[in-house]
Chains A and B, each alone.
Chain A
Amino acid sequence: MQNKGFLRLKEILAMTLILVGIKLSDSTPALMAQKAQNGFWLIPLLSFICILPSFLIMLYLLKKYQDKNIVELLESLTGKWIGKCVGILLFIFAFLTLTLDSRNYIEQIKLLYFPESPTDLIYFVFIAVVFIGAKKGIEVIGFTSWITLFTIKAAFVLVLILIYGDIVVQRIFPIFGASLPVVLSEGVKKAGIFAELFFLLIAYQSAKRTSMFRKGILLASIIVLLEITIFYFVYASVFDYNSIKKIQFPFHDITQYINLGNFLTNIETIFMIFWLFAAFIKFIIFIYITTWIFGEIFAIRNFEPLLLPFSFLVIIIGLSPFNSVINELVFRETLLTIMSPFFIIFPFVLWIIAWGKGDLKQ
């Protein structure tokens, strides 16, 4: 089950696409629209521009320090103890993102499709499936991502095609939404939405060749950016600037709204299946890499038995926010605001240290 390093470019690509790409269908757009109004579709673009240099530096450093993943890189650059502390910080970020996100997805499933089942039960079943999936190891996860990728993306494209008639492009004007300074500052603050890219760096060694990993993740991040921007653009043009911030799950609102002609109405369940597929895979990847980061920090080579306690912890912590609105608008917002500067600045610090040590010259 352990990683032997057989993943290829396409699996890395698929994993990244699903892990980050599904952001377009949760309540992240609603979170961004709170302040930026209809200018929120520009935020992912700005965030990506902010975070890209840092991400490239990380990839460059990993390339320089062959045979290391992100935690090992931290330790060898900043020393054992500081490295471990930063590693723990990274782990806490990953774990909190995982937990808050999972609560968000549970709320979506409950609100829209299982209104009468108790939240705890849905949470338990969901995480149980995720746990079983994660237990299979990174190669199975990568392969599963690849084979489901096309059906998932096809479903999303179908949504785009069906909603096309209801898009009113003029709704994206005034172009900067709330105002240019708001959009810019939100763009920086919400750079944390791409934090998953950094978490994925733990799997740097799992690819057959590290160049495959680098190419895969870079290619995927560009595709993901396009996807997210297109979908946010659609949300901004289907919903007006005052309505968009009231809607918690715009993706599901759209799937409920669209029809396949006059005969096939109420077709949201079709999309729910593919969306659920993607959600399962997202959390399988996420819980696996989070546990992996933890395992690396404490030098637990065989970390997979830890998946069970972590799954359990996700349920317990995920259930603690009082409701989904607090979960999303307070906790997740705060987490993103804290994570963003960390991921923007920290790679530069690492780079300076590496440069100071003179390791980059070789």
Chain B
Amino acid sequence: MKKKLLIVLGFVILLAGCNDRIELEQQSYVIAIGIDNTDQKGVYAFTYQIANPEVGSSAIQSGPDEPPTEIVTVNGADILTATYTANSFVSKKITLDHTRIIIASEEAARSEDFLRVIQSASRTPQIRRGVQLVISKESATDFINNNEPIMEKRPHKYYQFMLSRANQTGIIPRATLHRFFQITEGDADLFLAIYATTDQSDEKKNERGFEDQYIAGEIPQIGGSPTQFMGSAVFKEGQMIDILNGEESRIAQTLDNTLEMGDYLATIPDPLMPEYRISYEYSQKQKPSININYHKDKPTEIDVKVHFQAEIIAIPSLIGYTQNKDKQKVLEESIIQRLEEKTNTLIKKSQEEYRSDPFYWSLYIRKHFKDVKSYEKADWHKKIYPNAKINVTYYIDKLEFGKMLDDSHLDEVRD
């Protein structure tokens, strides 16, 4: 009798562990969260994109009409509380553990209160630090509703692939919440968030742009999904202040040692026939070296050396660069010159307009200080950076020409 009682008692204790038990099918997994301002201060419109786990899975046959996602919008004070409001019309418990991205409208991001609402996301353990921050030109609700992936219907895979590929090419930065908080709380540098839109109004098309000189919404596009991820939103002290285009985003990532970027293709005007453009693949095998000479009473010197490799992809002018040393020299110099020109423009813009840097360079000045107090007093983004003398030098380590030794000679073809 006593033994039986003990066994029953044992079960009581063991079963207490099931207090938090919840079945998979009782939960709705949110993949994307949208944040919009409302007319009322402190109240936001939250949009949740909930994945339908039955679509796109080989294990379960789903009905043909089932949509891959359910999108709901509710008003609320913070991300978590609003999920409970949403439960008045969503049948399952809304779980945020699998959130991939948080989308904030540009309007919300530019408002002073943006930090308040995004900070609440970090308190709950449900939202991971790896969640990426996307800023949309239109309202976040419209963005999520208009976003119609064509090939990859499953939303979590769509966002994962979309962001990781666009990030590899450098046209958007990697913008995790973790980085957002470190930079914002560090209060020295600019944070770059991903800029995207589904709004393709025709008058804003940038027909004269080249491969990366766009921001989202400007790229002339025919077919495909209406969503464009391009460029980055610049945040200063937790508030959005400007937009960088794809090219500037690439440069910012090149100069930032804490960000990783894959190889990318770009073009420059042919130095010998400027109406044609030469395409090359830019790749960086080592991180740039950043040297800061801190001077207390005169402008600080920042010396940056970037080593890169280039592979020529196309020479539409058909000029024989491949076998002519002098012409190669010209080409090398024009690539370097163009990169330096673009970089200097961005640096100048950041020094004069933003008065802070999007490269996370404040990290390199820290070793000149012994404690936080003196570091904060020296004031990187008010005193040091805007007045600094910055010198960025590009070095080309290798210039390759692909698998062709020579191009067709136009005069021989058309004789």
Q: Chain A interface (Cβ within 8 Å of chain B)?
A: 37-39, 111-118, 121, 124-125, 128, 166, 168, 170-171, 173-180, 239-243, 246, 252-253, 256-257, 259, 262, 265-266
Q: Counting chain B CB atoms within 10 Å of each CB, which of A38, A121, A174 scores highest?
A: A174
**Bound Cα distance from A252 to B125, whole angstroms:** 9
With A168-B363, A239-B182, A243-B185 known to touch, is A176 a contact of B370 (CB < 8 Å)? Answer: yes
Q: Are B17 and A174 in contact, CB atoms less than 8 angstroms apart?
A: no
Closest to A183 in B: B371
Which of A38, A121, A180 sits near B16, CB closer than 8 Å? A121
Say yes or no for B372: interface residue by CB 8 A criterion.
yes
A–B pairs, 25, beta carbons within 8 Å: A111-B125, A114-B20, A121-B16, A125-B13, A128-B13, A168-B258, A170-B363, A170-B367, A171-B363, A173-B369, A174-B366, A174-B367, A174-B374, A175-B370, A177-B371, A177-B372, A179-B373, A180-B371, A239-B182, A241-B186, A243-B182, A243-B185, A256-B129, A259-B130, A262-B160
Contact among A166, A174, A239, A262 for B369, CB-based, below 8 A = A174
Q: For B125, list chain A residues within 8 Å (CB).
A: 111-112, 115, 252, 256
Inter-chain contact A173/B129, CB cutoff 8 Å = no
Q: Is the CB of A178 within 8 A of B373?
A: yes
B379 contacts A by Cβ under 8 Å: no
Q: Does the CB pair B371–A121 fall under 8 Å? A: no
CB distance from B180 to the nearest CB of A (A): 10
Q: Residue on A with the closest CB to B164? A: A262
User: Which residues of B are found within 8 Å of A262, using beta-carbon distances?
Assistant: 160, 164
B211 CB → nearest A CB, Å: 26
Main DSSP-derived SS at the B contact region = helix
Classify chain B: how many residues form its interface, as a range: 20 to 34
Cα–Cα distance between A265 and B20 once the two chains are bound (Å): 21
A243–B181 CB distance below 8 A? yes
The reply on B205 being an interface residue by CB < 8 A is no
Instruction: Name the distance in Å between A163's Cβ and chain B's nearest Cβ.
Output: 11
Give the CA-CA distance A124 to B129 in the complex, in Å.
Answer: 32
**Are the CB atoms of A170 and B364 closer together than 8 Å?**
yes
Report A-chain residues with C-beta under 8 Å of the C-beta of B128: 256-257, 266
> Which residues 1-23 of B sit at the A interface, judged by CB distance below 8 A?
13, 16-17, 19-20
A38 to B185, CA, bound (A): 13
A125 CA / B10 CA spacing, docked (Å): 11
Do the beta carbons of B20 and A115 come within 8 Å of each other? yes
CA distance A307 to B102 in the complex (A): 50
**Shortest beta-carbon contacts, A-B, top 5:** A173-B366, A170-B363, A117-B19, A179-B371, A242-B185
- Closest chain A residue, CB of each to CB of B100: A265
